[in-house]
A and B are shown apart, each in its own frame.
Chain A
């Protein structure tokens, strides 16, 4: 209900009919061109080379690998995430530029999978970052990976229309919750060099859940990692 209202509000704001055409076009291009960053957190990484290379050829779907999080659109978390890795995955996710999507490959990202009683792996990836698509399986075949990516592309295409595929906005809007989960696992003085709150402010992505008691905790320990501005 609330979501619909929000959409209506947004639609009311944008009266220019061309704006929609433009937005749709960008959505279309976004769905057609996906740069992915595969973070080889686990076994699932082994099925990505087949999906990328000659046999399944991901590039024909407009998906190509990229090297750094800055350029990437999709973060492929390929398998169980150990706690040590999870910190890096979160950093990587925060360093990616929106719209950004997370695909959890392998059952381990859903619920710990085979390693459910391991002390070293985190169990639920979407506690720590919004996940767009899970591809379950141990490990999912390349076909399944491609299927999942296709599903994601569909979501992106209808992004602005149906508010699908915008899970990344959740991270800004509910930052407090995600930060709380992270703090629960890594300790209260956990922080990354990426200033999510400032980013949310700048791009107007704040929601009700952006601030809360966890962000207050963060503010207490956070050294101002403000960018160096030009001084005259």
Chain B
């Protein structure tokens, strides 16, 4: 029984315990413990992360002649540690006062706290199952589990929007699962090179033996299946609303890692097994656009468009969720470059994004906990009331915006560096556009929540309790430390790169080494903090002390401000930009989504009507006619 088996047993026990105890108070204290134990287990497996070894579970199943087995390598470990830490943070967050409030508020209306705990552990378990999958079939099974577990999490919020969003998600997810199944079917049915197993390596063989056309459709099917989970560009519409409407810490967990499962699968299938050569070999119509360019552009557009949609949101959770969609683009963009720096950046961004996204989501949930709203137009000036939450959000947004010295900067720097080295100016500009849009929108987030005019109804609120504060602070510490010393993470990244067969990055504690301009975050942060230090010296030692004033003591063109004046600028925060781009993307994407939604509802109505139709005989007749026709058609084809 190796470590992986023990790990699985631990998960199973945790699952069982939480399932049984979910409606008891003791579970609140137990749940974080289980996740803590999982972290410990993963740390014990650190050899996987540093040496690039593979742990294979003794447990396997034989179905229909296919062997399903599970294994852990550096890649799985890397994603697993992020998953478990995010779950740990969420679990601690909801174990205390938050859970109490949730019970009080929603227990009567269909919300169920025990179910939330269950959903969390189910999500973790299914994700770990997926991460450990050793062949395509177990990947598919894990994939299905993950989809349904997420769905369970999403429907927990007793609100119509949440239900609607969750159903929308399920429709998308089913579509993705169908695509994955279809891809499996193609591999299975490709009799030429199929050797009777669904091991991952099989893909490479099958792929190599195919013509261009089927190759393309196989790649496309895989891509669609994973892109839907990841929320890549044409399939980005479901994710944000669904995540935003998930109950508090659940949203943090989902937003941090859930959609990265798509990336995980994409790394295995498209990066590891299909590989650069095939991708470049597949050209679509035009000679200079190959699959790699296409994927890169999808990734780049995914960074831009959801980011600018986020800019328009006035609900804090939705804003963050949209950013979650957008940041996925950076990861794929880095990976699709297939070089050491870019792919390292892409991989590292998974961790970085998870850390600050969870921190930010938890902060927003903390604000909601105190104020009862996440509407950015109904907040403001909370910094004096909730200074630590402000600090966490500040660190989070610096990370999200990718500014030094937080970890977001490191991974984005690597992606940029790689784009520079590969000579991709337009992708580079696209990535920068995404970053700039992020800066704009995160400033809006922090300004509208924590800065500006404090509303009367919020004048007596307090900082959130420590049970919520600790995970927030812990996550922000990760954001800062991995930014200051990315070398702590980079060995894992290097072994992941080794595992999936990409060039390996040369790293040290402060960052990466590269002949023509590397990055040393210890120096960069050092210089920055030196600058801040000098700035603080100048500020505090020169000039007299400053007097704190009330917010009515403010310049209003000589006018007297009074309590009934709404003096906080929050709505439509970037009007200039919106005059330029607002109509365009508002119109086009609304239109697109409407098309999808109405097409789906049309199809579902169609089937519904068929089933409910009064004359089942007619249906039978139609089926028979169609069947006969197709048989005739086929036989005719054979005979001729």
A residues with CB within 8 A of B = 39, 68-70, 87-88, 91-92, 95, 192-195, 198-199, 202-203, 225-232
Distance A39 CA – B381 CA, assembled complex (angstroms) = 31
Chain B 524-545 interface 0/1 with A at a Cβ cutoff of 8 Å (1 = within) = 0000000000000000000011
Within 8 A of A (CB), among B373-401: 381, 383-385, 387-388
* Residue of B454, B547, B554, B555 touching A228 (CB-CB under 8 A): B454
Q: Is the CB of B558 within 8 A of A229?
A: no
Q: In the bound complex, how far is the Cα of B381 from the Cα of A229, in angstroms?
A: 11
Cα A88 to Cα B557 in complex, Å, equals 9
* A70 touching B555, Cβ below 8 Å: yes
Say whether, besides A194-B553, A195-B550, A202-B547, A228 and B558 are in contact (CB < 8 Å).
no
Q: Given A199-B547, A230-B387, A231-B462, does the pair A193, B454 have CB atoms closer than 8 Å?
A: no
- Tell yes or no: B559 within 8 A of A by CB: yes
Nearest A residue to B560 via CB reads A91
| Interface residue ranges, B against A (CB under 8 Å) | 381, 383-385, 387-388, 454, 459, 462-463, 544-545, 547-555, 558-561
Asked if residues B560 and A193 are in contact (CB atoms below 8 Å), the reply is: yes
A198 to B546 Cα, complex, angstroms: 12
Q: Which 5 A-B pairs have the closest CB atoms?
A: A227-B548, A228-B384, A193-B552, A88-B558, A225-B550
- Measured between beta carbons, the chain B residues less than 8 angstroms from A69 are 555
Given A95-B555, A195-B553, 11 more A-B residue pairs with CB atoms under 8 Å apart are A39-B558, A95-B553, A192-B560, A193-B550, A193-B552, A195-B549, A202-B545, A225-B553, A227-B550, A228-B381, A228-B384
Q: Given the complex of chains A and B, what is the CA–CA distance between A9 and B604 in angstroms?
A: 91
Query: Which residues of the other chain, B, contact A228 by a CB distance below 8 angstroms?
Result: 381, 384-385, 454, 459, 550-551
For A194, the chain B residues whose CB sits under 8 A away are: 549, 553
Report the minimum CB–CB distance from B488 to chain A (whole Å): 30
Most A-side CB within 10 Å, residue of B383, B385, B463, B550: B550
Which residue of chain A has the shortest Cβ distance to B548 in the bound complex?
A227
Q: Which residues of B contact A39 (CB under 8 A)?
A: 558
16 contacts between A and B (CB under 8 A): A88-B559, A88-B560, A91-B558, A92-B558, A193-B554, A194-B553, A198-B547, A199-B547, A226-B550, A227-B549, A227-B550, A228-B550, A229-B384, A230-B383, A230-B384, A232-B388
Q: How long is the Cα–Cα vector from A51 to B586 in the complex, in angstroms?
A: 51
User: A230 contacts which chain B residues (CB < 8 A)?
Assistant: 383-384, 387
Complex-state Cα separation, A226 to B387, whole angstroms: 18
Which residues on A sit within 8 Å (CB–CB) of B381?
Answer: 228
Instruction: Establish whether residues B560 and A68, one from each chain, have CB atoms under 8 Å apart when the complex forms.
Output: no
Q: Which residues of A contact B547 (CB under 8 A)?
A: 198-199, 202-203
Decide: A225 near B552, CB < 8 A? Known: A230-B384, A232-B388, A232-B463: yes
Contacts of B558 in A (CB 8 A): 39, 88, 91-92
Tell me the complex Cα distance, A202–B459, Å: 25
Complex: A231 Cα to B388 Cα, angstroms:
10
Q: Smallest distance from the beta carbon of B96 to chain A beta carbons, Å? A: 18
A-chain residues with CB within 8 Å of residue B551 when the two chains form the complex: 227-228
Which has the most chain B C-beta neighbours within 10 Å: A69, A88, A198, A230? A230
Q: Are A229 and B548 in contact (CB under 8 A)?
A: yes
Cα A161 to Cα B558 with chains together (Å) = 34
Selected from B463, B550, B560, the residue in CB contact (under 8 A) with A231 is B463
Q: Hey, which chain A residues are within 8 Å of B545, CB to CB?
A: 202
Q: Which residues of A contact B385 (CB under 8 A)?
A: 228, 231
When chains A and B are docked, how far (Å) is the Cα of A34 from the Cα of B470? Answer: 50
A contact residues around B459 at 8 Å (CB): 228
Q: Is the CB of B387 within 8 A of A231?
A: yes
Which residue of chain A has the shortest Cβ distance to B550 in the bound complex? A225
How distant is B363 from chain A, measured CB to nearest CB, in Å? 16
Q: Please name all residues of chain B whose beta carbon is closer than 8 Å to the beta carbon of A91 when the two chains form the complex.
A: 558, 560
* Chain B residues near A203 (CB-CB < 8 A): 544, 547
Min CB gap A207→B, angstroms = 18
**Minimum CB–CB distance for A33 against chain B, Å:** 15
Docked complex Cα distance between A88 and B555 (Å): 11
The CA of A92 and the CA of B558, in the complex, are separated in Å by 6
CA distance A225 to B563 in the complex (A): 11
A42 to B160, CA, bound (A): 61
Residue of B with least CB distance to A201? B547
Assembly CA distance A138 to B55 (angstroms): 94
Shortest Cβ gap from B48 to chain A (Å): 42
Q: Report the separation of the CA atoms of residues A192 and B547 in the bound assembly, to the nearest whole angstrom.
A: 16
Q: Tell me, in angstroms, the Cα distance from A227 to B561 when the chains sit together.
A: 15
Contacts of A192 in B (CB 8 A): 560
Bound state CA distance, A3 and B83, in angstroms? 73
Q: B78 CB to closest chain A CB, in angstroms?
A: 37
What CA separation (Å) do A202 and B388 show in the bound complex? 27
Chain A contacts of B554 at CB under 8 A?
Answer: 193
- Bound complex: CA A202 to CA B549 (Å): 12
* Cβ contacts under 8 Å, A202 to chain B: 545, 547
Query: Which chain A residues lie closer than 8 Å to B384 at the CB level?
Result: 228-231
**Complex contacts, B555 vs chain A, CB 8 Å:** 68-70, 95
In angstroms, Cα B560 to Cα A185, docked, is 17
C-alpha spacing A159/B501, complex, angstroms:
76
Chain A min CB distance to B370 (Å): 12
Instruction: Name which residue of chain B comes closest to A224, CB basis.
Output: B550
User: For residue A92, which residue of chain B has the nearest CB?
Assistant: B558
Q: Which residues of chain A are within 8 angstroms of B552 by Cβ–Cβ distance? A: 193, 225
Task: Report A-chain residues with C-beta under 8 Å of the C-beta of B559.
Answer: 88
Inter-chain CA distance A227–B555, complex, in Å, is 15
Closest chain A residue, CB of each to CB of B459: A228
Nearest to A98 among chain B residues (CB) is B544
A228 and B461 CA atoms in complex are apart in Å by: 12
Whole-angstrom distance between the Cβ of A201 and the nearest chain B Cβ: 10
Residue on A nearest B463 in the bound complex, by CB = A232
CB distance from B102 to the nearest CB of A (A): 24
Minimal beta-carbon separation of B384 from chain A (angstroms): 4
